[in-house]
Amino acid sequence: MKLELGFIEIKDIQFSNECKVENGTLFVDAEAVKAFVYEDDDVKAYVKSACFDIAKPGESVRITPVKDVIEPRVKVEGPGGQFPGVIAKVDTVGSGRTHVLRGMAIVTAGKIVGFQEGIIDMSGPGAEYTPFSKLNNLVMVCEPVEGVHQHDYERAVRIAGLRAATFVGELGRNVTPDEVQSFETYGIKEGIEKFPTLPRVAYVHMLQSQGLLHDTYVYGVDAKRTLTTILYPTETMDGAIISGNCVSACDKNTTYHHQNNPVVADLFEQHGKTLNYVCNIITNENVYLADKQRSSDWSAKLCRLLDLDGVIVSQEGFGNPDTDLIMNTKKIEQMGVKTTIITDEYAGQDGKSQSLADADPLADAVVTGGNANEVIVLPPMEKVIGTLNYVDVIAGGHAGSLREDGSIEAELQVITGATNEMGFNRLSAR
């Protein structure tokens, strides 16, 4: 399956009374985006208000609490559309051509529950830790209708973000991209014939799937209801997987992370050179132990069935997923398939505790995204998009985290994407 991505560089966003992309600037009419977002019944029923703001790299701006980050894209050729099974119909994506508004994102923010997490600082020390400080962000701050159930509201805000991204992505349909790249993986036999000497490598992509505020959707299906299965890597790149995960800001995979999965990108970079990138294996992180056993058994089984030589395994979240990570790794290694895993660490504020909630000697090749418990001080910002009301309550914050001058002393956990477990960042620990 072959996918072409046409990248349109977005260097600036401006509010305007029209909507267009011109010379690297996105002009956007907030009312028009809002109108499109509100065409959805759930949004209409549960989202009281949606306000837009713009945050640019280097500005003294803090966005919090962040729910999701989404890159606007549009399908210009081939089957399917953006976010299949959720926004577009469920047709298989991952082929044809998709335009990407690169350098920007839609950020959804606002309270979902009373401990809503996630901070994006656009400048200062905090900006070093989040990849989203480097993007021009169109921020949509939502508020719930009074008395709405949290699960209804979470779904509505999730859809609202995806709809906003779809609307903005559409503006790139007829723009000539600055750069076009193509990505292709092959059928089993075809791949072996093409690269007879290269090691066969896949990506075991673990998806957060524990419940409310902890979910991931694949073609619109709740991942906790799925069996371990196979995707073309280009499907992931084309919006097949979206995030419904609002907890553990530092190591949750936003929709942006799924669209720009760095493991997929870096495996593609070596594809046909040093390795044969076969496929992605997606597997879940359920709470029920028998589900864990089944899912990890299936990961290992598929690795064997596909005659793989090696896999990269990435996880998402804290605690419970460590067990899935170790189960997957151990069973895949026992099948004779070599593994490298990506995780982050909760080693305590002093860095002295055991980093994971599970361990096995077969997990001998680990890449880490850093210790999420490390304490950081974020200086005050001139402008806050969203609200600072929840800073004391969120994970990694403590009583008095939010100081009078607006600065925040908290663990790295509070920063969206800081210790990403797909290996999105350069942060590490030893």
Partner 1 sequence: MKNGHDFLIITNNPLVERCLGEYYSVEMFEEASYRDILVKVRDLVYASHTLYTHPLSGSVKPNETPYKSVVVSKVPHTFDPGEAEIIAYCIEAFDKFKPRGITLTDPVKRDFQLIDYTLICGAVDFDAAAGLSKIK
Partner 2 sequence: MSYRVVHYINQFFANIGGEEMAHVAPELREGFVGPGLAFNQSWKGEAEIVATVVCGDSHFAEHEKEAQEQILAWVKELNPDLFIAGPAFNAGRYGYACATIANAVKEQLGIKVLTGMYEENPGADLKDKILIVPTANSAAGMRKAAPAMAKLALKLMKGEKLGASCEDNYMPNGIRVNFFEKERGSKRAVKMLLNKLADKPFVTEYPMPSFDRVAPNPAVKDLSKATIALCTSGGIVPKGNPDHIESSSASHYGEYSIAGVEALCEATHETAHGGYDPVYANADANRVLPVDVMREFEREGKIGKLHDLFYTTVGNGTAVASAKKFAAEYAQKLLQAGVNAVIMTST
Q: Is 368 in the site for partner 1 (CB under 8 A)?
A: no
Q: Is 199 in the site for partner 1 (CB under 8 A)?
A: no
Instruction: For residue 125, say if its preceding peptide bond is cis, omega within 30 degrees of 0.
Output: no
Structure tokens that stand for 231 in this block: 């995707």
Q: Is 274 in the site for partner 1 (CB under 8 A)?
A: no
Cβ partners under 8 Å of residue 62, min gap 6: 119, 120, 121, 122, 126, 378, 381, 383, 384, 385, 386, 388
Q: How far is the CB of 323 from partner 1 (least distance, A)?
A: 6
The CA distance from 241 to 203, in Å, is 15
Q: How far is the CB of 41 from partner 2 (least distance, A)?
A: 38
- Give the range of 206-214, 227-235, 255-263, 302-310 binding partner 1 by CB under 8 A: 206-214
Nearer to partner 2, 95 or 276 (CB): 276
The answer to whether 221 and 290 have CB atoms below 8 angstroms apart is no
Can you tell me which residue has the tokens 């998009």?
Answer: 385
What phi, psi does 274 have (nearest 5°)?
Answer: -115, -10
6 binds, among partner 2, partner 1, none (CB under 5 to 8 A by kind): none
The CA distance from 339 to 362, in Å, is 9
The answer to whether 288 and 102 have CB atoms below 8 angstroms apart is no
User: Is 246 in the active site?
Assistant: yes
Nearer to partner 2, 291 or 309 (CB): 309
Among 317, 369, 370, 417, binds partner 1 (CB under 8 A): 317
> Catalytic: which of 19, 51, 142, 246?
246
Nearer to partner 1, 289 or 305 (CB): 289
Nearer to partner 2, 37 or 267 (CB): 267
Give the number of other CB atoms < 10 A from CB of residue 270: 13
Q: How far is the CB of 50 from partner 1 (least distance, A)?
A: 21
Nearest to residue 78, comparing CAs of 59, 56, 61, 95? Answer: 95
The CA distance from 154 to 212, in Å, is 8
Residues that bind partner 1 (CB under 8 A): 113-115, 149-151, 208, 210-214, 224, 245, 247-248, 251-252, 286-290, 292, 317-320, 322-323, 346-349, 353-354, 357-359, 373, 392-400, 413
Just list the catalytic residues. Answer: 246
